[in-house]
Each structure stands twice: as structure tokens, then as C-alpha cells.
Amino acid sequence: MDGLRHDYPAKSKSGGFSFISSNGLVAESLVPVYQSTTFPTHVSMATGVYPDKHGIMHNSFYDREKGSYSYSPEANWIQSKPIWAYLEEKGIKTATYFWVGSETAWNGINITYNKFPFSNSVSEETKIQQIIDWLSLPDTERPRLIMTWWHGIDSVAHKHGMNHISVAKKFAEQDGHLLDLINKIEAEDLWKKLTLIVVSDHGMTDISNFINVKEILKKADIQAKTSIGPAVAHIFLEDQKDLSKAIKVFQRNKFLEVKSKVEISNTLHLVHPTRTGDIVILTKSPNMLVSRKSNNPPIGMHGYNPENNKDMEGIFLAYGNKIKPSQINKVKQVDVAPTILSLMNIDIPTYMEGKKIELN
């Protein structure tokens, strides 16, 4: 559920979230990877590794060898094996109804069932019907893992900010769809052998200050390629002689933290061999890095470092087979894929950086 912040499940009165809170497992939050934007977070949940390893640094980014990436359906940009590819290689059928990176084969490995191209006009009702149809297939055809993207509150929260009534309305709607899915699985009598995990990719916070990175470079007459996300920007200089000048120019803005590539701590998972700029610029909310002036700027945003912004934390809930009703501490996005494999009694590959979450 896109953009659903950690504090939302508790707001549910009679929907799917209140059902799972009473009958299933709820984690305090799901801590996203950094930068906490939709593409890196989805891919980290699917691969069990951080963005410096899977390479999807943001929804769009620049690679010194491959060039520019922007919301691409081409799975080979992902540099670590997604869970569906890992399972399909073992002959286990999987399905996705929209998940970043699952539209195309990954290094020649196809998904048995997937829906593409991505469209945000497909309703949750349509996805639920397809999920039930997949679950109703004969044993030999039925996928053992189904992953699906739902709208969550992301789009309304970007547009109106977290305190707007439309966010509460959208949450209530999604909460209702979740209950509908739970009830339909119940009607098929599948809970004895099925586990439902509900996650979000990031949270959301209100912002108010926009910093135009490209304009700063232009005014200083510095030529560079840029990968600009809301919280992290990478500057790839045309001429390395501009390094100290560019650092000084950005340091004049007190809302920016400016680092050369060699100065960035590995614990941030922002240093990739070909996708990290010569200079990396970081900012905190309520600031947002942008590449152009907008007449209609967002009010809600995410992407910030979850280590110092609790609003970035998302959700993790589970219900069904092998789930003991309980409340657990914070869990991490890189733990999602290992946890799924553990539920399926399949070995967790050593390349995964997360660990299985104890669910029972």
C-alpha cells in the first residue's frame, strides 16, 4: 500500500487493518531503505538487499555506463535477484499484479503470471478478483507467491498533505478493500495454508521549502549530469576540476548537507559503483530537492533518511497460516524477502542482507 505511514493501521475502525490488528501480527513499523522513494523501496522488499546493491537508487537516476533510468519496466537494471526470479528458477510459480521490476524477465527468468503495463487506473477490486482467480487454479498451476501494488494514500497525500480529509477518506477506502480481500480468502477456505503480509513502501510528511539543484549549478556555471530525488541528489561533474567549487556553492545553503563521493558513510547505502555522483547532496524535511520550478508543488513528500525522520516509517502486518497474533518491534524492508522464503520453507540465499522476521 503506497505511502501508508506507520500510524495509519491504528486509525482503522472496522476495515481490514482493524481485523488484522485484532487477529494477526502487527509490527511497530517497517523501516524503509534510503532514499525512501517508491522504486528503491519496492526493489529492496523484493530482493532483500539495500539500494547500493540492487542499484535502483531512486525512481529515476543516472548510471555512468548505462545512462539514464526513469521509471523503466526493464528488469535488468536491478542488480540483485528478485524473489520471484529466485523462486521461478526452482520451478515454483509466482505472480505479480504490479510490482516494480516485475514487468519484464529478469536476466532471462520469466514470471509465470504478471500484469503489465503498470496503470494506476486499475482498481483494487480488479486486483482482488485476479488474486482470487490465481488462488483458485489447480495445484499444479497455482502461484505460491503473489505480490501486488495497491494505491495506499500516496497520490492524495502528495497532492494535499497528510492533514487533508482526502487522505483519511482514501485510507478508509483501502482499509475496506483489504477487508474484502480477507473475506474472499475466507470464503475460499484458504487461511489454513495461506499467509497474508501487508506492507507499505514508505511513509509521508508535509514539506514547504523547495531547493532547485539545477538552478544552483547553472548560476555557478558548473556543467554536470544530475540524479535529483526529493531527499538525495547526485551530481556527476563534466569536469572534475569543478569539485571544490561545486561543494562550496551548495554549502552556502544551510538546508543542505554536501558530501563528495568518498565522504559518504557506507551505512547510508548510497554508494554504488556507477550510480553515485561525484557530489551527493542530502536534505531533511520540510525541504525538498527539485530540478525545476513547479506551479503546483507537492505538500506531502517522502524520500528522507528514516534514521532521522520517523514519518518515513511504513507498515508491516501479517495474518493467516503460521502467524501468531502478536505485536512486535520495528522490522526492516530488507527483511521482507527472507521472511517470505522462510514461510515457504525455502532456503534464504546468502546474498540477501535482511533476516527472517519471527512471526510465530
Contacts to Zn ion by CB under 5 A: 2, 38, 154, 201
Cβ–Cβ contacts within 10 Å for residue 239, how many?
Answer: 11
Cis bond leading into 138, ω under 30°? no
* CA neighbor of 134 nearest in space, from 125, 143, 126: 143
CB of 57 to Zn ion, least distance (A): 15
CB of 102 to Zn ion, least distance (A): 16
Beta bridge partners of 317: 26, 198
Give the residue with the Cβ less far from Zn ion, 153 or 317: 153
CB of 3 to Zn ion, least distance (A): 5
Give the residue with the Cβ less far from Zn ion, 300 or 354: 300
Contact predicate 33/51, CB 8 Å:
yes
CB of 216 to Zn ion, least distance (A): 27
Contact predicate 289/228, CB 8 Å:
yes
Give the residue with the Cβ less far from Zn ion, 71 or 255: 71
CB of 69 to Zn ion, least distance (A): 17
Q: Residue 219, by phi and psi: left (phi above 0), alpha (psi -120 to 50) or beta?
A: alpha
Angle in degrees, 0-180, between the axes of helices 336-343 and 38-47, rounded to the nearest 10: 30
The C-alpha cell of 151 is what?
A: 494505491
Give the residue with the Cβ less far from Zn ion, 56 or 279: 56
Give the residue with the Cβ less far from Zn ion, 103 or 154: 154
> What does the chain come to in residues?
360
User: In the complex, which residue's CB is closest to Zn ion?
Assistant: 38
Give the residue with the Cβ less far from Zn ion, 38 or 195: 38
CB of 297 to Zn ion, least distance (A): 18
Q: Whole-angstrom Cα distance, residue 81 to residue 102?
A: 11
Give the residue with the Cβ less far from Zn ion, 72 or 195: 72
Q: Whole-angstrom Cα distance, residue 209 to residue 223?
A: 25
DSSP run (H or E) holding 38: helix 38-47
CB of 101 to Zn ion, least distance (A): 14
CB of 336 to Zn ion, least distance (A): 15
Q: Whole-angstrom Cα distance, residue 173 to residue 266?
A: 40
Give the residue with the Cβ less far from Zn ion, 249 or 334: 334
Which segments within the chain are labelled E, that is strand? Answer: 25-27, 30-31, 60-63, 67-70, 94-97, 113-115, 145-148, 195-199, 205-206, 209-212, 224-228, 232-237, 256-260, 279-283, 287-290, 300-301, 316-320, 326-328, 331-332
